[in-house]
Structure 1
Amino acid sequence: MTDLNKKTPASAAGSDGSGSEPLLKVEGLVKHFPITKGVLKRKVGAVQAVDGLTFDVRPGETLGVVGESGCGKSTMGRLVTRLLEPTGGKVEFQGRDITHMSAGRLRPMRRDIQMIFQDPYGSLNPRHTVGGIVGTPFRLQGVKPEGGVKAEVQRLLELVGLNPEHYNRYPHEFSGGQRQRIGIARALALKPKLVVADEPVSALDVSIQAQVVNLLDDLQQELGLTYMIIAHDLSVIRHVSDRIAVMYLGKIVELADRNSLYEAPMHPYTKALMSAVPVPDPRRRGAKSERILLKGDVPSPISPPSGCRFHTRCWKATQICATTEPPLLQLKTGHQVACHHPENGEDQAPGDAPLVADVITVKSAEPAAEKPEAEKSVAAEPVAEKPVSEKPVAAEPVAVAEEPSAPEEPVSSGETEEAAEPASDDAAEPASGDAAEPSSDDAAASASDEAAEESAAPSTGTKAEPKE
């Protein structure tokens, strides 16, 4: 088994930032996909898949690119290999600008830049044999290897761990891991200098992933390859990469060497990603590795937020984060980060406005804090009035009882009429004057049951009042 942490001397030299000139240099790379509408295909917007990427890859090193789905990793890989035409920016390979190079001029350079695609099932033509698939690059480039194309294809199949006798088999006769090995053999056919691997192990079983990762590492040490591996599996990227670039919504938010990034991530998004890595033993999860749950959803690349694109989900966001986009700066040796308030570094905007998250919390908490106080004050008013005057309190239920008893008019006995007169003089007058205003408050507060029972007896005589 290959030691995944062991890197070649060339890789180590490249990760230090010293040595030879970069093999690949990207400056301000942009790719916007237009959104059209109607029969005339009128442009109504654009998907900002990649928006201003700047990085380089040195000979012999492995650059890992991580990020969640939809952040623009695969689009960046296709732009680097010129399978897509960039909207803006600049791509240099070995000092030559290939950003807008024509297909005819690009053909000789294709042999130096190859790509391993994500889907091992859809990237192989089911109508062609394995020998025809792996041998196609020789025919397209007009290369005649020593011993013939068939002998070279069989050598490549053996190099990636397949049986050379399977030369005439079709892709459906192989498993997923074997198909991915066929794709790797095809990418290595012309001995490229740069290999862009787009999710090389994401569609494979865990047991097969280890085999493919070991194969890529062995081939790098044997052939001196330069890799740019795109993945969302942080454990795989940690094993195979020298430097790691973290992408979020079309931008690189952090770029650093492997050890520095995993031991002390500086961007809040990177810290949240690292906290999502599963821990084999939950008891080993300490305070530094607590899970960070980001609130909200990833903004749409059609209309990304202003300023820092992560500020809508960041717990450290301030007003400057919402208005000013942070540049990708080197805050430590070999460690670049685009953040106004990095985690393990000097604050780039000290003394800024209050946290955006805190402002939102305060606004949502103010009505909730006042509500119980208001309820307590309302409930306290009738309690304070009860001992002051018991008669108005007793008369209030009488007035309340008048409304439901109004339709009951068939009361015509003389006794009730005689009883109604003193009741109207004694109880009705103070009820109309003193207790008329607080009646709604006392009814809402539901006056005591004892007072209601006492007022129920004289209330029989008040039923005749609507009749008058």
Structure 2
Amino acid sequence: MSEDKAVTSEDKGVDVPAQRSAGHGAPAGDTASREVLLKVTGLQKHFPIKKGLLQRNAGAVKAVDGIDFEVRSGETLGVVGESGCGKSTMGRLITRLLEPTAGKIEFEGKDITHLGVGGMRPMRRDMQMIFQDPYSSLNPRHTIGTIVGAPFKLQGVTPDGGVKKEVQRLLEVVGLNPEHYNRYPHEFSGGQRQRIGIARALALNPKLVVADEPVSALDVSIQAQVVNLLDDLQSELGLTYVIIAHDLSVVRHVSDRIAVMYLGKIVELADRESLYKAPMHPYTKALLSAVPIPDPKRRSAKSERILLKGDVPSPISPPSGCRFHTRCWKATEVCKTQEPPLAALKTGHQVACHHPENAPDQVPGETVTAAAREAIEIVEVRKPSADEPEAAEPAADGTASTDTPEDNPKE
């Protein structure tokens, strides 16, 4: 079935209750003044490795190894990093789908770190998750009405007008036809299935929604529609998002603040503008250098791409000191022995690095190691010649996009 164009609740005239004031796109000062909804301190998750007939413990995979951050009401925190850095595990930890090894998780000031199933059940109304794969996250044996209506049954909630009427309203809110109530997941495209997952997550009017790579499994032409839908729903319902992704352009579009993870640690945490304009951690700089610029008018703004040599170290036995020192071109002896703390080097910008970019050196006088000089390869990006046509990049709907950074406040 072909994917319909995203329809917001405002476009269709759907009556959506204004539960909380929207926070996305608010100035940094306004966001900072909001109350803390989620606070994570020293969070760890180690998966034990069992070997032998007696299943003895032979080590552990340190998927998340001590992270700290806060999420304020109404804001969007984006979490980025390459595959295997612990992003998805972190998302499942803060929603308590996984039991933490250590650390503390506070939701609205209440410690939920080790709450059991019974203790977490009432909390599920305020904390929901959108899963990465829209094909495996929906039960193929259940109708859409049963899937979206499941939260009401599990929580013992009877909405006004009945479950069916509320489910049909939710389907309309996410841009689907309410008449699809009795259809099955296999009758929908990937983008439509992801909207069904979003409708299920919104059923109980949650305060916090954790979206685990909500568009990575979708076609590029559909990704923009789902991202815009999430943005519209936040404006309508005042939601708070933690969006996990590996696509830096998606994160830039939707996030107020961004956390960069590497090998189970947060290495940089800053607001969107600061991170993209002046990244401080070398790993963040390498990530941003790999972002393609589709608009020919703007390609001349970037002249080099950083290629990190070697593989990501194993989370079973991470390097000592700074975990990025094995691939960092600024690594010194202190990076091998001392782990840099996540510290605020300027207002609202935290970084864990002894030798940050765009900031004073925290350990001056150290000599860069010989291995660090060979850690990266700089590739020059070809600039367009003067006689090249400056045609605009086609947008997702097939039309030419003429937006500039000044025209689009999100950029």
**TM-score above 0.5:** yes
Alignment of 1:179-328 (within 5 A): 179-281=193-295, 284-286=298-300, 289-328=303-342
Find the residue that maps to 1:10 and give its secondary structure.
Answer: coil
Find the residue that maps to 2:312 and give its secondary structure.
Answer: coil
Matched, 1:66 2:66: no
Find the residue that maps to 1:293 and give its secondary structure.
Answer: strand
Aligned length: 357
Q: Find the aligned partners of 1:167 and 1:268 in 2 and give their Cα distance.
A: 49
State the shift of 1:145 in Å: 0.1
CA contact (8 A) 1:267 1:339 kept: yes
Q: Find the aligned partners of 1:265 and 1:78 in 2 and give their Cα distance.
A: 27
Deviation string for 1:60-79 (max 9, x for gaps)?
00000000000000000000
Q: Find the aligned partners of 1:178 and 1:236 in 2 and give their Cα distance.
A: 19
2:347 counterpart residue number: 333
Q: Find the aligned partners of 1:218 and 1:269 in 2 and give their Cα distance.
A: 32
Q: Find the aligned partners of 1:294 and 1:283 in 2 and give their Cα distance.
A: 27
Matched, 1:97 2:146: no
What 5-or-longer segments of structure 1 have no aligned partner? 362-468
Q: Find the aligned partners of 1:96 and 1:359 in 2 and give their Cα distance.
A: 48
Which deviates further from its counterpart, 190-199 or 346-355?
A: 346-355
CA contact (8 A) 1:74 1:198 kept: yes
**Does the C-alpha gap of structure 1 residues 194 and 269 become closer, same or farther in structure 2, counting only changes over 3 Å?**
same
Q: 2:138 aligns with which of 92, 104, 124?
A: 124
Find the residue that maps to 1:299 and give its secondary structure.
Answer: coil
**Does the C-alpha gap of structure 1 residues 356 and 319 become closer, same or farther in structure 2, counting only changes over 3 Å?**
farther
State the shift of 1:204 in Å: 0.5
Tell me which amino acid in the other structure corresponds to 2:346: K
Could you say which structure has the higher helix fraction?
A: 1
**Does the C-alpha gap of structure 1 residues 358 and 266 become closer, same or farther in structure 2, counting only changes over 3 Å?**
closer
Matched, 1:176 2:190: yes
State the shift of 1:357 in Å: 2.8
CA contact (8 A) 2:329 2:373 kept: no
Q: Find the aligned partners of 1:358 and 1:220 in 2 and give their Cα distance.
A: 44
Q: Find the aligned partners of 2:22 and 2:146 in 1 and give their Cα distance.
A: 36
Q: 1 or 2 for the larger relative contact order (CA 8 Å, sep ≥6)?
A: 2
Tell me which amino acid in the other structure corresponds to 1:264: A
Deviation string for 1:173-196 (max 9, x for gaps)?
000000000000000000000000
1:142 counterpart residue number: 156
**Does the C-alpha gap of structure 1 residues 287 and 131 become closer, same or farther in structure 2, counting only changes over 3 Å?**
closer
Give TM-score scaled by structure 2 length: 0.84
CA contact (8 A) 1:14 1:60 kept: no
Deviation string for 1:346-368 (max 9, x for gaps)?
1000012443436879xxxxxxx
Find the residue that maps to 1:78 and give its secondary structure.
Answer: helix
State the shift of 1:283 in Å: 7.4
Find the residue that maps to 2:32 and give its secondary structure.
Answer: coil
Q: Find the aligned partners of 2:55 and 2:131 in 1 and give their Cα distance.
A: 31
CA contact (8 A) 1:14 1:59 kept: no
Runs (4+) of structure 1 moved beyond 2 Å?
Answer: 8-18, 281-289, 353-361
Q: Which has the larger radius of gyration?
A: 1
Q: Find the aligned partners of 1:360 and 1:234 in 2 and give their Cα distance.
A: 26
Matched, 1:10 2:23: yes
Q: Find the aligned partners of 1:302 and 1:108 in 2 and give their Cα distance.
A: 36
Tell me which amino acid in the other structure corresponds to 2:156: G
**Does the C-alpha gap of structure 1 residues 333 and 29 become closer, same or farther in structure 2, counting only changes over 3 Å?**
same
State the shift of 1:18 in Å: 2.7
Q: Find the aligned partners of 1:2 and 1:353 in 2 and give their Cα distance.
A: 57
Could you say which structure has the higher strand fraction?
A: 2
Percent sequence identity over matched residues?
A: 79
State the shift of 1:13 in Å: 5.5
Tell me which amino acid in the other structure corresponds to 1:101: L
Q: Find the aligned partners of 1:163 and 1:51 in 2 and give their Cα distance.
A: 44
Matched, 1:45 2:68: no
Matched, 1:114 2:115: no
Q: Find the aligned partners of 1:47 and 1:83 in 2 and give their Cα distance.
A: 18
Give TM-score scaled by structure 1 length: 0.74
Tell me which amino acid in the other structure corresponds to 2:326: T
**Does the C-alpha gap of structure 1 residues 258 and 229 become closer, same or farther in structure 2, counting only changes over 3 Å?**
same
Find the residue that maps to 2:148 and give its secondary structure.
Answer: helix
State the shift of 1:172 in Å: 0.3
Q: Find the aligned partners of 1:91 and 1:199 in 2 and give their Cα distance.
A: 22
Q: Find the aligned partners of 2:93 and 2:322 in 1 and give their Cα distance.
A: 24
State the shift of 1:10 in Å: 2.7
Q: Find the aligned partners of 1:91 and 1:289 in 2 and give their Cα distance.
A: 42
**Does the C-alpha gap of structure 1 residues 156 and 39 become closer, same or farther in structure 2, counting only changes over 3 Å?**
same
Q: Find the aligned partners of 2:7 and 2:72 in 1 and give their Cα distance.
A: 23
Q: Find the aligned partners of 2:284 and 2:125 in 1 and give their Cα distance.
A: 35
Find the residue that maps to 1:220 and give its secondary structure.
Answer: helix
**Does the C-alpha gap of structure 1 residues 215 and 265 become closer, same or farther in structure 2, counting only changes over 3 Å?**
same
State the shift of 1:40 in Å: 1.4
**Does the C-alpha gap of structure 1 residues 289 and 261 become closer, same or farther in structure 2, counting only changes over 3 Å?**
farther
1:152 counterpart residue number: 166
2:70 counterpart residue number: 56
Q: Find the aligned partners of 1:173 and 1:292 in 2 and give their Cα distance.
A: 43
2:38 counterpart residue number: 24
Tell me which amino acid in the other structure corresponds to 1:10: G
Find the residue that maps to 2:82 and give its secondary structure.
Answer: coil
State the shift of 1:20 in Å: 3.1
Matched, 1:342 2:347: no
Find the residue that maps to 2:165 and give its secondary structure.
Answer: helix
